[in-house]
Homo-oligomer: A and B are copies of this chain.
Amino acid sequence: MSQKLAFADDHFHDECGVCGVFGHPEASNLAYLGLYALQHRGQESAGIVSSDGKELYVHRAMGEVEEIFQPSVLAQLPGSLAIGHTRYSTAGDKALLNAQPIMIDCNKGKVALGHNGNLTNAAEWRRRLEHRGSIFQTNSDTEVIVHLIARSQARNLSGAIGDALNQVEGAYSLLLLTQDELYAVRDPRGFRPLALGKLTTPGGFVSWLVASETCAFDLLNAQYIREIEPGEMVRISKSGIESIHFAPEKPHQQCIFEHVYFSRPDSIIFGRSVNESREMLGRLLAQEHPVDADIVVPVPDSGVPAAVGYALESKIPFRMGLIRNHYIGRTFIEPSQAIRNFGVKLKLNPIRGLIEGQRVILVDDSIVRGTTSRKIVRMVRE
C-alpha cells in the first residue's frame, strides 16, 4: 500500500562527523554540541564515549543527536574527556551494530575509536586477521584498525596506532580515546578533514577540541587553531599536545566533495573556507559557461553559494526561485496511489511567478548521476 521514499539525491555519502574534547569538566556536553553542529554529516546514528580518568562510558543509538543525547543520557557520560561520532545511513546495513565510537578492551587497555573514512584494503586485512584467530563483530573497516592496534608489538599506544595505520590503506580521520588521552589522526593523503581547536574559559583554563569541521568550534565559542596534518597523529594528554608524524606524507588527495556539498559553508575545511570554494566554483562556471539568461536560481540549500558566485560573476540577478521544505524526516512514507512520482516535490517547490517566462540558470552543488537534476529541471520547466 505504501512505500518508503528513497531520497536518492545523486550524492555520494561516505562522510561521518567526529568531535573530541580534552580537559573540560563537561566534556560529553561539549561533544554533544559539537555533534549537533556536525549533524549534516550523518543522521542515522550517533554515539559518545567519555572518560573520567578511570572508566570509559558509552552511549550509542539510532537517530539524530538531539533526540539521542537527552540530559539523563549525558549525565551517564561523566568525565573531562570525550569523543563523539555521527554516522550517515548506508543502505542494507546493520545499523546499530555499526554505530560508533566502537569501544574495546585489549592489551593496551580500554580504547574507544571514532572513524571518518574508508579503508581500501579492509577486506584483505579482515581475511588475514580472521585467519590469525581474530573475531569481528561489526561490518565496519574501523574494527580492522583496532585489531591491528591490539596485535601491535609496540610498547605504547601511540606506537601501536602508528603500526596499525602504516598497514592500512585509504581514508581516515580518526579520534581515539583512552582513560587519559585523546588521539587525533589523519591519513597521509589527508582525504577527510580534521581540525584542532582550543577553548579558553573565562578563568583562563584551556581545553582542546578536535572536529571534522570548524563550525563545531564556532558553536562552542572555541578558537580554530589548525588542521591536523596529513600523516600526523596528535596526542593530547596531561603533559600537553604532542605531534607525531607516524607516516611520510603522500601526495595529498583531499576529498573534493567536502567543499562541494559534504561540509557546511561556514566551515573551514583543508584550511580553506567552504563558502568561498563554492562561490568560486560558481564564478568559474560563469566564466567557462556564460549563458544569456534572465535569472540565476540555486537548488537550495547546498547550491546557494555557487549560484551567488555565478550571479556575481555574470551580473545576472540572483533569485530564490526554488523553496525547500525542511520538515521532511528520515521516515517519510509516500502514501502510494494518490499522487505518483512525487520525485523531488516533497523537498523542493518552484516559485511559479518568478520563473514563468524567464530564462533560468539553475545552479546545483554538483551533478553526479544527474537523475535528480533532470527531475528538478523538468519540475522547473513545468
Question: Of B2, B40, B218, which one neighbours A327 at CB under 8 angstroms?
Answer: B40
- Binary flags per residue of A45-84, CB closer than 8 Å to B gives 1, else 0: 0000000000000100000111100110011000000000
Q: Which of A199-242 contact B (CB under 8 A)?
A: 215, 218-221
Number of interface residues of A (CB under 8 A): 87
Query: Smallest distance from the beta carbon of A274 to chain B beta carbons, Å?
Result: 9
Docked Cα-Cα span, A311 to B307, in Å, equals: 15
- Binary flags per residue of A309-331, CB closer than 8 Å to B gives 1, else 0: 00110000111100101111101
Please give, as numbers and ranges, the residues of chain B lying within 8 Å of A106 by CB-CB distance: 130, 133-136
- The count of identical subunits is 4
Cβ A24 vs Cβ B219 within 8 A: no
Docked Cα-Cα span, A285 to B74, in Å, equals: 47
Query: Smallest distance from the beta carbon of A60 to chain B beta carbons, Å?
Result: 8
- Interface of A, secondary structure class, is mixed
Query: Smallest distance from the beta carbon of A310 to chain B beta carbons, Å?
Result: 12
Known: A75-B1, A130-B150. A276 touches B136 (CB 8 A): no
Which B residue sits closest to A264, measured CB to CB?
A: B323
Cβ A137 vs Cβ B137 within 8 A: yes
- Interface on A for B, CB 8 Å cutoff? 1-2, 24-26, 29-30, 32-33, 36-37, 39-40, 43, 58, 64-67, 70-71, 74-75, 94, 97, 102-107, 126, 130-131, 133-137, 146-147, 150-151, 215, 218-221, 264-266, 268, 273, 275-276, 301, 304-305, 308, 311-312, 317-320, 323, 325-329, 331-333, 335, 337-339, 342, 345-346, 349-354
Given A1-B71, A265-B323: 12 more A-B contacts, CB < 8 Å: A30-B339, A103-B137, A104-B137, A105-B126, A106-B133, A107-B131, A137-B137, A215-B349, A264-B323, A273-B353, A273-B354, A275-B351
List of 9 A-B pairs having minimum Cβ-Cβ separation, nearest first: A29-B335, A133-B151, A105-B136, A39-B327, A266-B323, A104-B135, A26-B338, A2-B71, A273-B353
